[in-house]
Amino acid sequence: MSNNNTMFQIQDGSRTEDVFEHYNIIVDRGQQLMRIDKYLMGKIENVSRNIIQSSIQNGNILVNGESVKNNYKVKPGDEIKIVFSTPPREVEIKPQNIPLDIVYEDADIMVVNKPAGLVVHPGYNNYDGTLLNALCYHLSKNDLSKPIVPYLVHRIDKGTSGILLIAKTELAQNRLATQFFDHTIERKYIALAWGNFTEDKGRIEGHIGRSAKDRRVMTVFPEGEYGKSAVTHYKVIERFGYITMVECQLETGRTHQIRAHMRYIGHPLFSDATYGGNKILKGTTFSKYKQFVDNCFKILPRQALHAKSLGFTHPITGEHLFFDSEIPEDMHLLMQKWRAYSANQEIS
C-alpha cells in the first residue's frame, strides 16, 4: 500500500520572519589562517558542518564576492556573505489536486499567480489545502506514491494575491536566495490605502519586528532598536479622494512589510483587518457614505494588496526573466466603485 504523504522540512511562518537567514562576517585582523567550514562553525550557532559545506558547494557562501571551496582558508579582512535556510520543522505534505495558475515552469523553477485566500504552506490552523499541497500534487502526479515537494523562496500572505516564485531544486533555491539577499530581485505590488497621500512618491524606512502585544502583528521600530531593517518605496498611481492606489517596490522582504509600513505612515491598506484598515478611516459622516464603504468591504474582504510583478535572474541559465500579472477582479471592482464615487463627489 502506497503512502501518498511525505514528511517535508519547510519554513515555519509562525516562528520565523523570513525564508532565509543572512550573515555578513568580516574576519578579524588577528585571525590565523583557518579552513572556512571550521571558522564558520565557531561563528554561527546551531549550524552543522555538513550544512556549511553544502552551502559552500551551492554557492551560498561567498568570500569577497567569489565562490570558494570547502578547503579555502580565511584570512584577516575577508568579507564572508552567507545565506542559510531558516531552521525548518517537519510537516506532513499531502499532494492535493488544487487548481494552479502556472505562469511559467521549467526544470528548475516555477512562477505561479496565487489567488487571495490561499495559504502558501502548512502551518498553525492550515495543515492542508495550501499552495504547497497543490504544487506537490502537480510535481508528483505521475507517481503520487513518491511525492515531490518544491522549495520555497519567498512568501506572500494568505489574503494577498499575485506572483510567487518557486524553486524545484535546492541549488535553484540557494541561488535565488542570494538574489533576494543582494536586493537584485525586482518586486512591485499594487495596493489601495486609506487617505490622500501628500506626496506623489516616497521612501519608508523602519525596522520591522513582531509586536510584543500580539505576535501575529508586525510593528515598525523607527530607531532600529528591534526587528530587522526594512525599506519600501511607493508611488501614487491614482487618487480616489479618501483612498489612494499606490505602487510599492520592496528593497527588503519582511513579513507584512507593506502592510506594517503603510500603517506606520498613517495609510493602512483598505480592508486590512490586522492593521486597522477594515474601518472607515477617512471620509464623511453621511450614512450613504458609510453604506458605500461597507459595500466596498464586502467586495474586498481582505487587504487590498496584489503582488503584480517579479523580475529576477534565472538561477541556472543566467537569463533575466520578468513576469507581470493582471490586477484581480475583486480589486478591479473596488477601484471602479471608488473611481465612480470620487468622480461624483466634491472631496477635500
Last residue of one domain, picked from the residues 124, 152, 181:
181
Active site residue 157: yes
Question: Which H or E run includes 334?
Answer: helix 329-343
Residue 143 φ/ψ, nearest 5 degrees: -160, 90
- Are residues 78 and 97 both part of a single domain? no
Catalytic residue among 157, 182, 324, 330: 157
pLDDT value for 14: 30
- Are residues 203 and 302 both part of a single domain? yes
Q: What is the CB neighbour count within 10 angstroms for residue 158? A: 18
Quick one: what percent of the chain has pLDDT higher than 70?
91
Q: In whole angstroms, what is the distance from residue 335 CA to residue 295 CA? A: 13
Q: CATH no. for residue 332?
A: 3.30.2350.10
Number of H helices, E strands in the chain: 7, 20
Average pLDDT over residues 73-87: 82
pLDDT tens per residue across span 281-315:
999 889 999 999 999 999 999 999 999 999 999 99
DSSP 68: -
pLDDT value for 141: 84
pLDDT tens per residue across span 87-131:
444 567 889 999 999 999 999 999 999 999 999 987 766 778 999
Kindly tell me if the per-residue pLDDT of 266 is higher than 50. Answer: yes
Kindly tell me if the per-residue pLDDT of 229 is higher than 50. Answer: yes
- Are residues 237 and 320 both part of a single domain? yes
- Residue 84 · residue 23 · CB < 8 Å: yes
- Are residues 159 and 79 both part of a single domain? no
**β pairing state of 20-26 and 34-35:** unpaired
User: DSSP H helical segments within 265-326, as ranges?
Assistant: 287-299
Tell me which residue range forms the domain holding 196.
Answer: 186-343
Q: Which three cell numbers stand for residue 325?
A: 500579472
